[in-house]
Structure 1
Amino acid sequence: MWSAQDVARDQIRRQVNGLDMAAVAEKVAEAAARECETAEQLRRGGSFSEFESDPERLAAIWAAKHVEWQRIRDLMAQDGWGAYEPGQDAHGSKWAQEREERRDDALVARAAFEARRREEADELRTELWLSAAPSRLIRAAADRAGLMPVQVLAQLAERVVAGEGGTVSVPPFTPSR
């Protein structure tokens, strides 16, 4: 759901609060080293560890972390901050809010998808073979109503009434759009 940049910014934002310039410089150096290591490992085609299933993504995340740590270091130097405070970082705060909005949108979309799946579980999809006489009647009714035969059958099924003793009937109706 999140890009490598999103993952890097989110992880760093949780780590950086209160760090001074020296600590941030260490993080820049660590990220640079890890970026080189993962890029080299990716070039050689080896795996990073048993826990990392996507070496390309890991390399992209470390590259993004390196860029983000550098951005924070430069911001602190430019603005003369003694320690990093996320609330003062306008770009970082904006990105965090955008990530949260995308996350919330994705959660809403996922919930809607799950609701549709639950509804579909109650639906019945079937293939129906009718003999010639009933088939002609359904086609004629569909032609008169300007519908497809399957639409007439769906309307017919929606109107089925189950009686006592297991009888099934359909009250008279006119198929419509």
Structure 2
Amino acid sequence: MTQIADKATEAAQRQRQRETRQQLDSPALDRGPYDGDPQDLAGQWRARHTEWRPLTALTDGQSRPVCSPERDVQGSTWAQERDAQREAALTRRTRVAERAEGLPR
């Protein structure tokens, strides 16, 4: 009876390892903008920063008011949602990486 239980446990473990390996080897599902490679994300934000620099200079030069988070309730809500999505994606990525470290190659 113990041998059967041991074999069942080993089979379940192999199945979990196979599923994890498939997840790691397959293209990521669309889980939002934060599940990609962190280096790619950093590059995207650098490009956006560069893109917005001329606009910032223009508004500063014309003494135009800038967006105030206190007055932009919808934008602030979206920013909070993006932050929550980012944290969830980073947590998922960490969990998958930790599980993958324990898998045999």
Fold conserved (TM > 0.5)? no
TM-score, with length taken from structure 2: 0.40
TM-score, with length taken from structure 1: 0.26
Quick one: higher RCO (CA 8 Å, sep 6+), 1 or 2? Answer: 2
Larger Rg: 1
